[in-house]
Chain A
C-alpha cells in the first residue's frame, strides 16, 4: 500500500523535513519566525524605509529612521580622522598600498622572502606617505587617524612582532634555563594581563624611564605596546607549530650536514609555520579588532573617529549610525579573513 503512495512534499525536501517534519521542530520554527517577524520590520524601517539618505541634521531629526546623510557628510572624517583634508590623497594611497599588500599575501603561491621584503618596504612607504618628508609636507602623528591608523597599527605591529615571536618561541624551547626563563616570564606576563594594562604601561612608563628631555611619539608607544602584545600570543602559536614537527626532521637535517641554523631555517621553521598559518590568521583578526583599544589612550583609529564624528556640534548624537557604519567595515575585513582562514586550512592540508 504505502509503496503506491506518491512521495509527499516532506520526503522530497530535506529543508522542509528538518523545519516542519516533527512536532518539536515545527514549534521551534514557528517561534523563530515569530521572533523574526517582530524584530525585522522595525529594523528594516530604521535602516532603509524611514532613513534619511540626503539632507541636513534637521531633516534627519524630523525623520524616525537612520540618518545616512550624516555618514555621507562625515565620511571623510570617519575614514581619515583629523588628517588634513587637503592631503587626503596621501592617506588614501597609504591605505590602498597596505590593503594591496594584504591581498597579495593571501596567495600562498607568493609566500617567500620577496613578500617579507615587500611588507617591510610597504610599511615604511606607508609611514612616509602619512608622515611626510622630502617632497611631502610633514604631518605629525597626532593628526593621523581613521582607517590608515587602524591598518598601519595592526599590520605594522604584526610584522614587527613576527621575528620577536619566533625568537621567543625558540627561547622557550631552549635548553638554556636562563633564556627559557626570560621567554616564559615575558610571554606569561603579557598573556596574563589585559592589553589596556600594557598600553597604559607603555604610555605612562616610557616617559618616566627615559632620560629627561627624550620623548617617544604616542603612536610609536602604542605600536611598541601592540607589538609586544602580539609577539607573546604569536610565540605560543609558533611554539605549538615547532612542537608538531617530528624530531626526526631535525635529526635527518643534521645527519645531512646542515648546521643548526640551516636546520632551523630550511627544515624546521617552514614546516612549523605551515602547520599554524590558520591560527595566525585568526590571531590577526583578533589583533585587528584589538587596535580599537588605542581609542582609550586618545588616538583616533577608525572606531574612535566614527565615534568622534557623532560629537560634531552640527551632527551631534548620531552614534547608532556611526557604530553601524564602523561595524560594517570591521565586519567586512574580519569576515573575509575568517573565511580565508578556513579556505587556507583546507588548502594546506596536503599529505
Chain B
C-alpha cells in the first residue's frame, strides 16, 4: 500500500497517464493484466463456493448446524487441570477458555525460564574456559539436533520415573520432586493471592515508571533512593493488606499421608511440557545471545576496558545494550515458536488449547468452526507477542537511534 501511495503522487505529476479518482486508485491497486487477475479472483471464489457447498451438504447429512452456537452446549468431558473452575457439564466455550489459559500459562512460564537459562548459557558459551564453552556447545548441539517431540517424551518419562511422594527428592529444602509433580514453597494469603499479586505488580510497575521519568528529567537517582523506592513499593501494599487482616503464612509443601500437600505445585504433565519447551528454546536463545555479543566490534570492549570499567560493568553497560538490538528481534521469534510448540502438549496429555479443541471437534463434529477458533487463537497470540516485543524494541532498544 505504501508503494501505491508513492506511485500515486508520482503519477499525478505525469498528466495524461493517470487521472486521480476511483478508477485510478483501482488500477493502481490492481496493476496490470486486469483480465487475468479477474479470472484468478473469480476462480478462487468458485473453488470456495464449491468447497462451501460440499461442506454444507456434508454437515446437513451429519445433522450438524453450521455456526458457533454449539460452543454454548455442554461439554461432557473432564479436563485434567485448570486455572478456573471447570467440570464436565460446563459449556464448550468454557472448556476452550480453560485450554487457552493453560496454553498461556505454560508458554509464559516457559519463556521466562528459557530466557534466564538461555542468556546465562549464551554468555557461558563465550567463556575463555574451554571446559565451560565446550559443555554449553554440546548441550546446544544435542538439543538442536533432536526433535522437540522426542525431548518432550523423554521429559515425560523422566518425570514419571521420579520416586513416589513418600521418597520425594528434595534438591533444596522446601522443593519436592516426585512422580505426582513438582512442589515449591509458596505464601498462603487465604485465597487473596491473585488480587495481591496484581496490586503488588501494579505498584512495582508504577514505581519503575516514576523512576524512569525522573531519570529522564533529572538524571539517574542515587542507588539508595532507587532501592528504598522499590522496597516501599513492595512493602506498603503488603502492610496495608496485613492491616486489613490478611495473614501471610509460609506454605511449605510436606508429605501428608500418601501425597504431598501445600505449597505451589505443578502437575507432572505441566512440568514436563514447561521444562521441555524451556530447555529446547534455551538452546536457540543461547546461540542468539552468543551471536549478538560476538557481533559487537572489539573496539567497544577495548574502549570500555580502557575507561577502567570492570568486566561485569563492561558487559552490562556497553556490550549488552548494543547486543540487545540484534538479540531482541530474534528472541521474539524464539518466544513465538515456544508458544506455538506448546501445542505439542497433546502428545503428553497436557490439556492445552489444541488438545481441548481437538476433543471438542471429535465430540461435537463441528470441525470447521473449531479449526477456525484454533487458527484465530494462535494468530491472536502470535500477533500479541510480536506487538509487545516490537513495542519493547522501539521503546528500549532503538531509543538511542531515534535521537
What residues of chain A have their CB less than 8 Å away from a CB belonging to chain B? 15, 18-19, 25, 28-29, 32-33, 174-179, 182, 189, 192-197, 200-201, 204-205, 207-212, 285, 289-290, 292-293, 295-296, 303, 307, 319-320, 323, 326-327, 330-331, 334-335, 338
Contact = CB atoms under 8 A, between A and B. Distances in A.
A196 to B, nearest CB: 5
Contacts of A201: 371, 374-375
B346 A177 contact: no
A242 B379 CA distance: 27
Given A192-B378, A208-B55, A338-B145, 16 more contacts: A18-B129, A29-B129, A32-B132, A175-B3, A177-B4, A189-B375, A192-B382, A192-B383, A194-B342, A204-B370, A205-B368, A285-B145, A296-B347, A327-B150, A330-B147, A334-B144
8 contacts: A29-B132, A178-B29, A189-B379, A204-B361, A208-B59, A319-B157, A323-B157, A331-B146
Contact of B129 (A28, A178, A292, A320): A28
Interface residue SS majority, chain A: helix
A335 B127 contact: no
B58 interface: yes
B37 A176 contact: yes
A18 B130 contact: yes
Contacts of B142: 331
A334 B283 CA distance: 15
B149 A208 contact: no
B32 A175 contact: yes
Contacts of B44: 182
Interface string B17-43: 000000000000111110001001100
Contacts of A194: 340-343, 354, 378
A197 B129 contact: no
Contact of B51 (A178, A209, A289): A209
Contacts of A178: 29-30, 37, 40-41
Given A32-B131, A179-B40, A292 B147 contact: yes
A208 B128 contact: no
Given A32-B135, A200-B374, A205-B367, A25 B129 contact: yes
B29 A28 contact: no
Size category of the B interface is 35 or more
A319 B161 CA distance: 11
B379 A212 contact: no
Contacts of A293: 149, 344
A151 B147 CA distance: 14
Contact of A307 (B1, B148, B153, B344): B153
A193 B61 CA distance: 30
A290 B147 contact: yes
B146 A327 contact: yes
Contacts of B295: none
Given A196-B346, A212-B58, A303 B371 contact: no
B358 interface: yes
A154 B87 CA distance: 41
Interface of B: 1, 3-4, 29-33, 37, 40-41, 44, 51, 54-55, 57-59, 61, 127-132, 135, 141-142, 144-150, 153-154, 157, 340-344, 346-347, 354, 358, 361, 367-368, 370-371, 374-375, 378-379, 382-383
A197 B378 contact: yes
Contacts of B146: 289, 327, 330-331, 334
B151 to A, nearest CB: 8
Closest 4 CB pairs of A and B: A334-B145, A289-B147, A204-B367, A194-B343
A177 B5 CA distance: 12
Nearest to A317: B157
Given A201-B371, A303-B150, A335-B141, A28 B131 contact: yes
B184 to A, nearest CB: 23
A197 B346 CA distance: 11
B129 A19 contact: yes
A176 B31 contact: yes
B379 A295 contact: no
A216 B316 CA distance: 57
B281 to A, nearest CB: 14
Nearest to B134: A32
A205 B48 CA distance: 13
Contacts of B61: 212
A279 B29 CA distance: 33
Contacts of A307: 153
A25 B346 CA distance: 44
A193 B375 contact: yes
Contacts of A338: 141, 144-145
Contacts of B361: 200, 204
Contacts of A209: 51, 54-55, 58
A196 B157 contact: no
Given A32-B131, A176-B37, A204-B361, A319 B29 contact: no
B314 to A, nearest CB: 15
Nearest to B365: A208
Contacts of B358: 200
Nearest to B31: A176
A208 B58 contact: yes
B367 A193 contact: no
Given A193-B374, A210-B54, A296-B347, A289 B148 contact: yes
Contacts of B55: 208-209
Contacts of B54: 208-212
B354 A197 contact: yes
Contacts of A207: 58
A205 B145 CA distance: 33
B379 A192 contact: yes
A286 to B, nearest CB: 9
Contacts of A335: 141, 145
